[in-house]
Structure 1
Amino acid sequence: MKKHRHFIIHKPWGMISQFVNPAKRKKKLLGDLYDFPEGTMAIGRLDVPSEGLLLLTTDGKVSAEIRSQKYEKEYYVQVDGLITQKEVEQLKTGVEIGFNGKKYTTKPGKSFLIDDPKFPLRSQKIRDERHGPTSWISIIIREGKFRQVRKMTAAVGFPTLRLVRVRIGEINLGDLENSGVKEVTTLM
């Protein structure tokens, strides 16, 4: 029986969440972070301007299980402007976004205002206080439509400036310490 391998990584801003670059863009790939074994796959993805927790495995069954709606995915989101409790409540109950050319209402989730998490600065600056205030929220969902969190914040009038996935199920970004890549015996 083949022994599968599992990894927890911190995907940095500007990296493609894949091992192959289909568009031949001049971006870094996951394989640039670490020498992963052949057959390793990302469980879900984070788009190029997103960062944070990404799980990798050589086991397709584990990948399908974690991508299901069984596990919560938590994101810390910096938005343009001072979001209010009214918009946070809208995010909790579900908002209408576009998906696959159709209107889609997101499933209810959790959302709340948070203090600035003081993440390290990105390699590309977002903006500064001269451009107006920003605020941070946590959004917790069980689904994962294409750029869903970004579309959700835009739907309530607060475009996303920075998006960091901090948790999938019980696995937290903080579990990584400073290395950015950690091999684990099991994911869930």
Structure 2
Amino acid sequence: MHRYLIFYKPHNVLSQFTDESQTQERQTLKNYIPVPLVYPVGRLDQDSEGLMLLTNHGSLQHRLSDPKFEHPRTYWVQVERIPTDELLEPLRKGIQIQHYKTRSAIVTLLPQEPTLPPRDPPVRFRKTVPTAWLEVTLTEGHNRQVRKMTAAIGFPTLRLVRVAIGHLRLEGLAPGQWRDLTDEELAPLLKLNQRSRFQ
């Protein structure tokens, strides 16, 4: 039987069920999710937070992870200092990062700080450096991509929270909580998966 879960990954938790580190004790998905044989669709860095989708449905996992299908993911990103709209334009058009150029992204400056649970530990606060929040929607997922993108235009990321994967949203979950998808949430994913088999 297939299972489909969403999970609010807290900060400082690995997005896998095992930890290969021999030197330190780190929390993994196993500390939160007692469901056997489900696997994450994509990853979130240890120092990032937010929405993860887990399933044991192999073809759907592949469909949502494969970059060629351009499945959107949305993040709220706290950055140092306050960028102008003009300075964000390279992120929208695609920016060179190391060995690749990012796809165009949807990037907006949020008018105010979003409502999120406090992070543990909190983000380092400096009175002399203002911060801003961006909403960034990508259709690809290179390693630490959002952090590299904001650093490339001179606005380092302080906090990163994934708030959506396609139509799935983080609302209603607290950090560390998970639940099964509803039939309404699942239906578009199964339809997407069915369609991709004929592409």
In the aligned structure 1, how far is the partner of 2:81 from the partner of 2:175?
31
Q: 1:104 aligns with which of 78, 100, 120?
A: 100
Alignment of 1:92-131 (within 5 A): 92-98=92-98, 103-114=99-110, 115-131=112-128
- The two structures, once aligned, show a CA RMSD in angstroms of 1.7
Matched, 1:152 2:160: no
Which segment drifts farther, 16-25 or 76-85? Answer: 16-25
Query: Which residue does 2:71 correspond to in 1?
Result: 71
Query: Which residue does 2:11 correspond to in 1?
Result: 13
Cα gap change, 1:19 to 1:92, in 2 (>3 Å): same
Cα gap change, 1:110 to 1:146, in 2 (>3 Å): same
Which protein is richer in strand relative to its size? 1
In the aligned structure 1, how far is the partner of 2:172 from the partner of 2:57?
21
Deviation at 1:84, TM superposition (A): 1.2
Indicate the SS of the match to 2:171: helix
Matched, 1:81 2:81: yes
Cα gap change, 1:170 to 1:50, in 2 (>3 Å): same
Q: Which runs of 5+ in 2 are unaligned?
A: 190-199
Query: Which residue does 1:54 correspond to in 2?
Result: 52
Deviation at 1:146, TM superposition (A): 0.6
AA partner of residue 34 (structure 2): D
User: Identical aligned pairs, as a percentage?
Assistant: 36
In the aligned structure 1, how far is the partner of 2:5 from the partner of 2:75?
19
Aligned length: 181
Indicate the SS of the match to 1:176: coil
AA partner of residue 74 (structure 2): E
Which segment drifts farther, 41-50 or 22-31? Answer: 22-31
CA displacement 1:107-126 (0-9 Å, x = unmatched): 11110001210311111111
Q: Which runs of 5+ in 1 are unaligned?
A: none
Which segment drifts farther, 56-65 or 128-137? Answer: 128-137
Query: Which residue does 1:135 correspond to in 2?
Result: 132
In the aligned structure 1, how far is the partner of 2:180 from the partner of 2:149?
33
